[in-house]
């Protein structure tokens, strides 16, 4: 059974981009404007980084992308 790799995506308010990092994928640090763009970027980056780090080969590399963004909702004064 293939291990599912865990990747974190956090919103960088200052840079206005999603930033991805992972303890499971050595060297992974990338960013994109949207989560969709980030996921597409990861689909090519993750296998390349794993190959460079000697990860066991296989045709598929499953990963879970968990996104986190802090937001503030404002109440309308009554």
- Specify the residue for token string 């794993």: 50
pLDDT of residue 1 exceeding 70: no
> What pTM value is reported for the model?
0.84
Contact partners, residue 58, CB within 8 Å, separation at least 6: 2
Helix (H) / strand (E) element for 73: namely none
Domain ranges of the chain: 5-68
Question: Is the separation of the CB atoms in 15 and 26 below 8 Å?
Answer: no
pLDDT of residue 63 exceeding 80: yes
* Mean pLDDT of all residues belonging to the chain: 92
CATH topology of domain 5-68: TTHA1013/TTHA0281-like (3.30.2390)
> Using one digit for the tens of pLDDT, what is the confidence trace for 37-59?
999 999 999 999 999 988 877 78
């Amino acid at each position: 059974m293939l291990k599912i790799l865990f990747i974190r995506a956090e919103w960088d308010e200052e840079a206005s981009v999603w930033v991805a990092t992972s303890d499971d994928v050595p060297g992974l640090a990338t960013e994109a404007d949207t989560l969709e763009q980030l996921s597409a970027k990861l689909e090519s980056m993750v296998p390349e980084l794993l190959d460079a780090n000697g990860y066991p080969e296989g045709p598929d590399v499953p990963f879970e992308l968990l996104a986190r963004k802090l937001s503030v909702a404002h109440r309308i004064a009554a």
